[in-house]
Amino acid sequence: MLRQEQTRKLSTVETACHATPEQAGLRVEKLSFDQIPQQSRLFLDYLRDPSALRRFYPEAVKHHFDLTERRERVLANYKIDRSALCDALTRMNRGWRASEATLKNIQTLCEPDCIAVVSGQQAGLFGGPLYTIYKALSAIKLAECLAQRGIKTVPVFWIATEDHDFAEVATAEIINRDCALTGVTTSNSIHAEGLPVGRAVLDRSITDTVNQLLQALPQNEFSEDVAKLLRETYGPKEKFGDAFASMMTRLTRERGLILLDPLDSELKRLAAPLYAEAARRAPEIAQAIMNRSRELVDAGYHAQVTPSENSFPLFLHDESDARHALTRTVDGKYQTKNNGGGYSADELADWALREPDRFSPNVTLRAVVQDYLLPTIAYYGGSAEIAYFAQTSEVYRLLDRPATPILPRASLTFVEKHTWRSLERYGVRLQDFFAGVDHVIARVVEKYLSKETAATFEHTTQTFDRELDALQDQLRRADPTLADALEKGRRKINYQIDGLRTRFNRSQIARDEAVRRQIEHAFDLLYPQKALQERHLNITSFIARHGLYFVDWIFDAIELESREHHIVFL
């Protein structure tokens, strides 16, 4: 009752805290992640009650309004020179043509009582998959909520430019003008093996990639805006990370998002003491991750990071800036795959202090570095990151850092009007696609295109089963081996009938080309390559159809208290 009363008192001013998509005029259906395929048990349990998993997440919070209780602890443990940090952030964000709102937020971050809501993602081509912008806007909305409660808070987006898997970020997927899933890819010749993706420099081929994307998208009143957005951010001689940052800056322009590139030399210098401490304690960190991974498995969960007692928490960058993993050898020293020598943990720690540009954190240390550089009150992440945090909380503990709570980012599927009208006509929902497009086709045929034949198939299957059950009972009394043979025959019969049913369904759909196209296009839009829309489609796919207002719709669709997937009908 007390919390409800507090909510009523605050709701009139805390618009970001309590805003719902319905209040913004959006039609939304909510879907529990329990109903969505490929969700880990750890993620589902975390959604249900993060506080019940404090064994793995020491500072987990059940509700975002509980975050304020850890504010003083965050500030007390934050020792970075804010002036140096903000100077670096100002320089970076000005280079990406940041808005005055962003520059003002950087000034606010300089103040000793300011905290940050953080999220981050790899620098994907043209902004990457939709969930990238969902993360950024989730952080912005929570920062606004906390600020409305009188807590000085800014949103920060950590660009994972240090990653070197270029193939993972080099493609942008869209729904093209023919309503089919397609993609464009930037040339891999701009990236050398092991080089951080943020360092790759776009060449003249990026102009062709931009043109390919624009030609694939529908032509309408928004085309000029999309072309301007892409051509002003992705051009020859731009670094891949800078191009991404420039695009994110434009998409979130007046919302004050601060972007951060961890490859920046000044940020490396500020992080150097933590690099050194992690290097000195490398064996302890590796063992702690091993132990935590076993605890997770013993509890019935999975270990997101494959642990090794010989791992080192930092990558070493060579003279060409390619990064290499370090592994402990039998003599206790660490070496890269191609290095015949070796370094002690203390030698690497001293090196990291002298030349921090030669190092970058691995996945177990990255979040700790982030929250060493920033006064992070909470981080927004997806299911994989939530799983990582169950292991990396041990690194926070060993390095005497408060473990940052991770909040589930917004998860959304946008359904355009022409699509949802088709789906409603045939009684199809998003979750029907989880079983595959053939399942949806069968459903449409059985209910709308050929009810009589579909009923005959079902009658045939039931009749066979009933008669074979009777025969199997008699055979089992006479000779059990014959009953077993009949069971094998039954499976073959059912397999053949199911095959005929599928072929019939497809032949019926083929006769009605319009229906087939509607179903296949809906599948590409809503569940592309058998994954949620947010994991594949690029934001330009929607901006090209609805304009830059689409970013506002995303923001309005984010509900801070929700732990469900939102299906948003446009």
pLDDT band at 474 (very low <50, low <70, confident <90, very high): confident
Q: What is the pLDDT of residue 16?
A: 84
122 vs 486, which has greater pLDDT? 122
Residue 280 scores a pLDDT above 60: yes
The stretch 455-471 carries a mean pLDDT of: 72
For 61, the token pair is: 């919070």
pLDDT band at 451 (very low <50, low <70, confident <90, very high): low
306 vs 463, which has greater pLDDT? 306
Q: What is the pLDDT of residue 300?
A: 97
Q: Please state which of the ranges 280-294, 373-387, 452-466 shows the lowest mean pLDDT.
A: 452-466
pLDDT band at 385 (very low <50, low <70, confident <90, very high): very high
Question: Which residues have a Cβ under 8 Å from the Cβ of 436 and sit 6 or more positions away?
Answer: 530
Residue 228 scores a pLDDT above 50: yes
Q: What is the pLDDT of residue 443?
A: 78
Q: How far, in Å, CA of 122 to CA of 197, rounded?
A: 9
Mean pLDDT value across the chain: 91
For 155, the token pair is: 């949103």
- Nearest CA to 542 among 124, 233, 218, 247? 218
Residue 10 scores a pLDDT above 50: no
Residue 67 scores a pLDDT above 90: yes
Q: How far, in Å, CA of 348 to CA of 353, rounded?
A: 9
**Is residue 154 classed as helix, strand or coil in its secondary structure?**
strand
Residue pLDDT, tens place only, 398-408: 999 999 999 99
CA dihedral 249, 116, 166, 362 (to 10 degrees): 160
Q: What is the pLDDT of residue 484?
A: 77
Q: How far, in Å, CA of 158 to CA of 370, rounded?
A: 8
